[in-house]
Structure 1
Amino acid sequence: MSIPLGYLIGLAILAFPVLRLPRVPMPLGTSVFLITMSINELPVLAALAFGASTALALAEGDLASPVALGAAIVAAACLGLQIWRGATTPSVLRRAMGPIAVSGRVPLWRVLGFPFAVRPRSVERFADLSYGPASRRNRMDLYRRRGTVAGAPVLIHFHGGYYTTGHKSSQSLPMLHRLAERGWICISANYRLRPAAGFEDHVVDAKRLVAWVREHAAEWGADPERIVLSGSSAGAHMSAMAAFTHGDPAYQPGFEEADTSVSAVVSLGGYLGRYFDDRPETSPTESVRPDSPPVMVVHGTHDSLVPVADARRFAERLRADSRNLVVHAELPGAHHGFDLYWSPRFAAVVNAVEAFTAEAFARQRVR
């Protein structure tokens, strides 16, 4: 009796994301991240792939092998566990938010039928707007609801990519599209990358974009007093550092007088330690200050690129040193890059981001 190696390899790939792996160095970590993220965040498609491959194996008599049958049972259990972990995300987020109410609404047709980040017709995009002197990298895409927009809150998102790669049209697009549908102005921005740029350049780019929003708010219908910085991985590091250095002229060359304070920060799978040169002042965790804005930290428990313990330390430091709102949620079974698709998990995260920012704006009004 032959053992269907191809089928077994496929099962192993489908079951692999259920594991909590140790931190994996680059570039192997990128490969692990891509495999685990896609399967973990697309549970319906993963289940369909499992069903199709198992039906084919059954038709060809491969399941007569005890090894194949046992592997199929284990893989089915792993997929079931992955789906269950994703389904627990709303309750995890509700506990993290405490008394702040979070919507349970989920766009089921997107999550189940087409989970990819396709811009809805109700949202228009203005691509490749310039916000700084770097002609290629100081570019952004602006999303807003079609029609007249006035007094809209603004969310600025910075992509991840180890500060060496990445693009504005790649990450957290479901969140940008959803918030734009609901009346926000959302910006996804490129920024200068290593090795041509360093830590100070990244922070300057982030603050330059905040200054751009304040300067051009009226022409886009934005509220210049309600700006939220968000980011994925390295983008979260950049957002936090920009927020924690507001008013520091060293990071505002040529626009020293601009107001670069923000209403809140949202970290999605963020890297929150020291930059490559290992200076303590380049770490968000070591740069928390009493007047740091409200911060929401969302991280996957199974992240093999940025350990969840790092996010936990950051949240603990915020709670100890900042006088503003802190929300910290650890998503069961989530890996790096959970913000790429309209998965059940990220749909719940977007609901929580809406609730968190509404609370942050409300507290800002009464200060």
Structure 2
Amino acid sequence: MPYVLLALGILFALVAANAHAPRRNAVLLVPSFFLGWLTIEMAPHVLVTWAAATALTAAFGGLDGWAGWTGLALALAAMAGIAATVVASRRTVVTLRDSGAPLDLDPEGAPRYPLAHLIVPQLCLIPRKGVRVERNVLYREEGRLRLRLDVFRPADDAADGELRPGLMQIHGGAWVIGDKREQGLPLLNHMALQGWVGFNVNYRLSPRATWPEHLIDLKHFVAWYKEHAEEYGADPDFLCVTGGSAGGHLTAMVALTANEPEFQPGFEDADTTVQGAVPFYGVYNFFEAGPWPVPMGATRILEKMVVKKPFAENQELYAKASPVTYIREDAPPFFVIHGSHDSLIPVAEARRFVERLRDVSASPVIYAEMKGAQHGFDVFPSYRTARVIEGVERYLTGLHRQYRQGTGPGVPEEVTQSLEEPSVG
């Protein structure tokens, strides 16, 4: 048993080290990401499991020798490292870069995410009390093509019959995998309880789909929303968009390419404007290197499966697939969110996009950098996810209030107030 405990200690130490410093080389990138992602965002559950395994091994003779004691020391050090990630996530504080001001996403009195979902993450798959979900609503039908969405809305209709704000959720998955049933559920449930109507939207995936068919599908949804929003109690004139990873890229494209005829073939006259965008850990530039050794467009997945054309001879096409190309003065407000430990899309990608967007856009651009967070951190309802969801709700609700008041987009009052409060982390 001593050598079993030693093996456990070494394993725990390696996993903890990977969580704090994920590998980014070609061979270890994917396994390092998945291991770090699960470890960081499920840290309380990992910590309990490790502690139980260590205690049981020690109780059955694991400390009978130097190997066991060495393993125990390594296991305790690893658990201390994981405990530090729990503390960091519970004290989630994001920094608005260039301002140096902390944005506390956990103010007293704000709507809170349920503790039960943090203990049993699977509960996020079940609609919360007070939320009704209508599944597999058909929003685009053309020949054999049928695209569907799920609607999340308050169980009770608005007492005064007032229309509610709408939120479009776009799942990620590298443009080739993913489904509306898998992502955005913690956010959509929370937003529905705060009076929003959420639409979790599917779109065609590669390799069957070729860019820009993914975006065209989502434009069809926006046009559909304008026509059918009232059927679900939503305001057709107010829609915000959010999504993570590939969904973050598509979120930015939807927001920045409103009414672009190239992406609206056959429905060029449809209004596809949105009133706000919240992209999570997205890709915003396919044609320039910087955060990575080569441009994102030169990667195999984009050249062979998504765009399906070689990058070297088609750089203009990749530029047209990049949100940064469409930055403009009348862009809608953005709240960009990224994790500092993201090993799939480096955090520098978000920083340079935000910098360029701020240089041009007349609307406010807020950037939240989540310290210690991996890619896809919001898929699980962790402590960090809860704080971010609460912050996104405050931000979007502030935008909707400004829309109703006719004051034009600005930094919501809730955000301004939190900037003036002392940091808690």
Q: Could you tell me the TM-score, scaled by structure 1's length? A: 0.91
Mapped contact 2:22–2:36 kept (Cα < 8 A)? no
Of the candidates 279, 283, 292, which is equivalent to residue 267 of structure 1? 279
Mapped contact 2:93–2:370 kept (Cα < 8 A)? no
| Equivalent position SS for 1:329 | strand
Overall identity of the aligned pairs, in %: 34
Pairing of 1:167-178 with structure 2 (within 5 A): 167-178=179-190
| Equivalent position SS for 1:337 | coil
Aligned residues: 366
**Cα distance in structure 2, aligned partners of 1:293 and 1:97:** 21
**Cα distance in structure 1, aligned partners of 2:184 and 2:80:** 29
C-alpha change, 1:103 and 1:357, in structure 2 (3 Å) is farther
The equivalent residue for 1:66 is: 69
The equivalent residue for 1:8 is: 9
The structural deviation recorded for 1:41 is 1.2
C-alpha change, 1:230 and 1:21, in structure 2 (3 Å) is same
Quick check: 181-190 or 81-90, which moved more? Answer: 81-90
The equivalent residue for 1:219 is: 231
| Equivalent position SS for 1:218 | helix
| Equivalent position SS for 1:355 | helix
The structural deviation recorded for 1:334 is 0.5
**Cα distance in structure 2, aligned partners of 1:359 and 1:43:** 32
The equivalent residue for 1:42 is: 42
**Cα distance in structure 2, aligned partners of 1:101 and 1:24:** 39
The equivalent residue for 1:121 is: 129
The equivalent residue for 1:166 is: 178
**Cα distance in structure 1, aligned partners of 2:111 and 2:7:** 40
1:41-90: CA deviation from partner (whole Å, max 9, x where unpaired)? 12221121122111112202324523202211221221122112212314
Mind listing any 5+ residue stretches in structure 2 that lack a counterpart?
287-296, 303-310, 409-425
The structural deviation recorded for 1:96 is 5.4
1:272-305: CA deviation from partner (whole Å, max 9, x where unpaired)? 2225355212111232111111111111111110
Cα RMSD, aligned residues only = 2.6
The structural deviation recorded for 1:258 is 1.2
Mapped contact 2:93–2:103 kept (Cα < 8 A)? no
**Cα distance in structure 1, aligned partners of 2:118 and 2:208:** 42
- Tell whether 2:333 aligns with 1:332: no
The equivalent residue for 2:418 is: none
- Tell whether 2:125 aligns with 1:86: no
C-alpha change, 1:33 and 1:99, in structure 2 (3 Å) is closer
- Tell whether 2:407 aligns with 1:366: yes
Quick check: 108-117 or 183-192, which moved more? Answer: 108-117
Higher normalized contact order (CA 8 Å, seq sep 6+, divided by chain length): 1
C-alpha change, 1:231 and 1:137, in structure 2 (3 Å) is farther
| Equivalent position SS for 1:303 | coil
The structural deviation recorded for 1:194 is 1.3
The equivalent residue for 1:110 is: 116
- Tell whether 2:155 aligns with 1:146: yes
Q: Which has the larger radius of gyration?
A: 2
Quick check: 136-145 or 319-328, which moved more? Answer: 136-145
The structural deviation recorded for 1:102 is 8.5
